[in-house]
Amino acid sequence: MIAIMDTPNQYQPLTPEELGTRLSVIDAVADRVGGDPSTWKVQEVGDGNLNLVFIVEGPEGTVIVKQALPYVRLVGDSWPLPLYRAFFENHALVRQAERDPGAVPEIYHFDEEQALIVMEFLAPHKILRRKLIDGEKVAGLGEFLGKFCARTAFRGSELSMKSADKKKDVGLFSGNVEIPAITEALVFTDPYHEADMNHHTDGLDPVVAELRSNPELKAKAQRLLMKFASNTETMVHGDLHSGSIMSTDTDSRVIDPEFVQYGPMGFDLGMLLANFFMAYFSQEAHRHDAALEDYREWILSVVADTVKAFDEEFTHLWKTERTGMLYPVALFESQGHHSGDACADLLDEIWADALGFCGIEMHRRTLSLAHNADFEEIEDKDLKARLEARNLLMGAELVLNARTTTSIDELLTLARQFNKKDII
């Protein structure tokens, strides 16, 4: 239900027609966009599942205005969703900018009542998922993403933060209840039973039945859900898929952290890898011949670069920024004891968690409510089902046997093997 504006700043969703009048009173907008607000070019471009997103262009510059809607846009006002998610997104962007400077768009203005964030317009960036479907390469992508995941994981944890600050932050973000509830249901649970909002491609039924009749798979997924819901190791982005990354051919940024929460260190990494694997498995529908093989291998090289950069950056921060109460220098180096093995053990645990989360994300994007364009844009439904089946079974392998895939080379070999399988 949309509120009617009867007090000065009561929430009211923006329209392109009113945006100039309503936002021209905000200096951060008026100064950047410039000129007469009635001449501003305003386009609503939101193609995500939840929010309004406007590009506002004037003689001096362009800004992005993102406003939360009081319901899930993908479904409609039958599914209400609190506006306060914009408050948490704003806090997340502030922390990510501190923890990995330059990795996220700059915020110019936040209005809590209007659930509205005015931020940097990234140009000529495109949503990474579109680039992956269009076969465009991005230089330095894996290194950027691996470092982002490592820096936010490490610097948002008690390896680095003062415990009092971290615990206060856990308290703050624990107010973001409904958004994690979406992930808890849509990502971790719905794929594994016939939930109301689920849908999948015709032809996948035998594979779906196989997954849903496997109690071990369901138990592993629920164990990962338990970690996701109760392990507050670090502040996670919470929805780090290729639609939450914008890139040019040489530069990338991470956007859209409204699913922020404190959670396991491997969560963002795992979600991210899943989205690269789904891009990989869907390529056969998007290009052919030499370009197909070349681009598929490029995607796998991004996966390898991401994992390598994550491990290297995390290890570097371990050596140089261990200022929190966990694994204190006083307990190791000051006693003449190396802590390298402890770091390696922790990275092994993060890796195993990440592979489990990766498998679950591969499942939910094919079986639950919110699918992705990589597969959804495939018109030939038989081909779509064949490619999704490979994705589903590799996902199951990862959830079931996360601890047996111990290296990046093994992971990439697994992807190449599943990509050759004729399952249906």
Judged by beta carbon distances under 5 to 8 A according to partner kind, the member of ligand SR1, Mg ion, none in contact with residue 149 is none
Q: How far is the CB of 50 from ligand SR1 (least distance, A)?
A: 6
Q: How far is the CB of 74 from ligand SR1 (least distance, A)?
A: 5
89 makes contact with Mg ion (CB under 5 A):
no
268 makes contact with Mg ion (CB under 5 A):
no
> 31 to 50, contacts with Mg ion by CB under 5 A?
48
Q: How far is the CB of 196 from ligand SR1 (least distance, A)?
A: 13
- Output 72 or 119, the one with its CB closest to ligand SR1: 72
- Output 245 or 408, the one with its CB closest to Mg ion: 245
- Residue numbers at the binding site for ligand SR1 (CB under 6 A): 48-50, 72, 74, 182-183, 186, 239, 369-370
- Output 182 or 393, the one with its CB closest to ligand SR1: 182
- Output 260 or 309, the one with its CB closest to ligand SR1: 260
256 makes contact with Mg ion (CB under 5 A):
yes
Judged by beta carbon distances under 5 to 8 A according to partner kind, the member of Mg ion, ligand SR1, none in contact with residue 182 is ligand SR1
Q: Which CA distances in Å does 257 have to 104, 128, 220? A: 10, 16, 26
Q: How far is the CB of 49 from ligand SR1 (least distance, A)?
A: 4
Q: How far is the CB of 322 from ligand SR1 (least distance, A)?
A: 33
- Output 256 or 305, the one with its CB closest to Mg ion: 256
Judged by beta carbon distances under 5 to 8 A according to partner kind, the member of ligand SR1, Mg ion, none in contact with residue 315 is none
- Output 85 or 384, the one with its CB closest to Mg ion: 85
Q: How far is the CB of 61 from ligand SR1 (least distance, A)?
A: 28
The dihedral formed by the CA atoms of 117, 119, 121 and 125, expressed in degrees to the nearest 10: -90
Q: Which parts of this chain interact with Mg ion (CB under 5 A)? A: 48, 256
